[in-house]
Structure 1
């Protein structure tokens, strides 16, 4: 039996209405998902560490870190300039939520260890200068950061910094070797201990040898 034109038109209208409803529902679900991602921050663009801590014994450490790069203030810094001192390197970028969490703590430790000659450097893997400087002003960061949008600095640290593992914090001993690593947000007391260990190890290693009595024996 043939359907009347009116019935065919009504059926077509129902199909069209169903399609529009499905499209709206799908778009709403997608928009909701995007909103949730936006609320969560830029979390899709980094691989957060699990907070694991590794401290390496002196006889198991690799060769000294060999990196050079430009800071946001235009200064060029080479790791050879760090010889004899303990250095802390922190990989970060402004939109990284865990980086915002640990920033005040890093500044506190930077201030605390400055009298002992410990140097702190950030390694910024994404931002342009205005964005990085706004972050530093917001969190009161006074130690400098390298520009590393091309990843050249991280390339020299691949043995210790997994790709896109932001934040990551490294402690370098007085010989420029990695003595400790924290993947993810650094705990203040843990990082303080790792820095203190590196300082104590260095001071004992560089302690002057006891004076000999050969001259006194010869004189007698």
Structure 2
């Protein structure tokens, strides 16, 4: 984790502790055992950067968006791609939606694309979510077979919803955010770092 991201993460976590006075959030196992039926399992917030020499193979995926457009990993080669796994009833997904959109607006003219992967909803629900939360980038509807999530999960753990990945120009996962994004600046820094890599 770079120094800038570490500082940003520490600042956000200290702010959260100061505001809530709460202990660290429950682990995934505890949430599962408690069975509180909140509709999602939120991961303990983690940010992981992967050095260029340690990244796995390019992710070869294909899916259909909520508007019926077919997209694939090949469509994004040569660009930095942010992939966010979400669904409409996921509370943390709603909270982080404006932050994702903020970073999308910041970088969309700089060779960066955003793609949601909706793991639960039908197209109409995904479109309604996008409209209600002012999300302007597309999402793949991955409900029927989960093949997009499965392909990404083969190269990096996707153990919580939401999870956000930053994919480099070669289609390799370069960074991973587990759980709800805590601030737009964290994602912006990750995107900027990958964008700054030599093509």
* Class of the TM-score when normalised by the shorter of the 2 chains: 0.7 to 0.9
Instruction: Indicate yes or no: 2:92 matched with 1:89.
Output: no
Aligned residues: 161
Q: Take 1:43 and 1:99, find their aligned partners in 2: how far apart are those partners?
A: 16
Q: Which deviations, in whole Å up to 9, do the C-alpha atoms of 1:52-71 show, x marking residues without a partner?
A: 00000000000011100101
User: How far apart are residue 144 of structure 1 and its match?
Assistant: 0.2
Alignment correspondent of 1:193: 189
Alignment correspondent of 2:71: 77
User: How far apart are residue 94 of structure 1 and its match?
Assistant: 0.3
Alignment correspondent of 1:104: 98
Residues 114 and 162 from structure 1, CA distance in 2 versus in 1: closer, same or farther, beyond 3 angstroms? closer
Contact 2:39 2:89 in 1 (8 A): no
Alignment correspondent of 2:57: 63
Residues 198 and 43 from structure 1, CA distance in 2 versus in 1: closer, same or farther, beyond 3 angstroms? farther
Q: Take 1:135 and 1:78, find their aligned partners in 2: how far apart are those partners?
A: 23
Q: Take 1:108 and 1:128, find their aligned partners in 2: how far apart are those partners?
A: 25
Structure showing greater relative contact order (alpha-carbon pairs closer than 8 Å, 6 or more residues apart): 2
Residues 43 and 92 from structure 1, CA distance in 2 versus in 1: closer, same or farther, beyond 3 angstroms? farther
Alignment correspondent of 1:132: 126
Instruction: Indicate yes or no: 2:182 matched with 1:184.
Output: no
User: How far apart are residue 46 of structure 1 and its match?
Assistant: 2.2
Alignment correspondent of 1:167: 162
Greater radius of gyration (CA): 1
User: How far apart are residue 161 of structure 1 and its match?
Assistant: 3.7
How does 1:41-56 map onto structure 2 within 5 Å?
44-56=38-50
TM-score when normalising by structure 2: 0.78
User: How far apart are residue 80 of structure 1 and its match?
Assistant: 1.0
In structure 2, runs of 5+ residues without a counterpart are: 1-35
User: How far apart are residue 43 of structure 1 and its match?
Assistant: 5.2
Instruction: Indicate yes or no: 2:120 matched with 1:142.
Output: no
Q: Take 1:99 and 1:161, find their aligned partners in 2: how far apart are those partners?
A: 18
Residues 121 and 43 from structure 1, CA distance in 2 versus in 1: closer, same or farther, beyond 3 angstroms? farther
Q: Secondary structure at the match of 1:192?
A: helix
In structure 1, runs of 5+ residues without a counterpart are: 1-41, 207-220
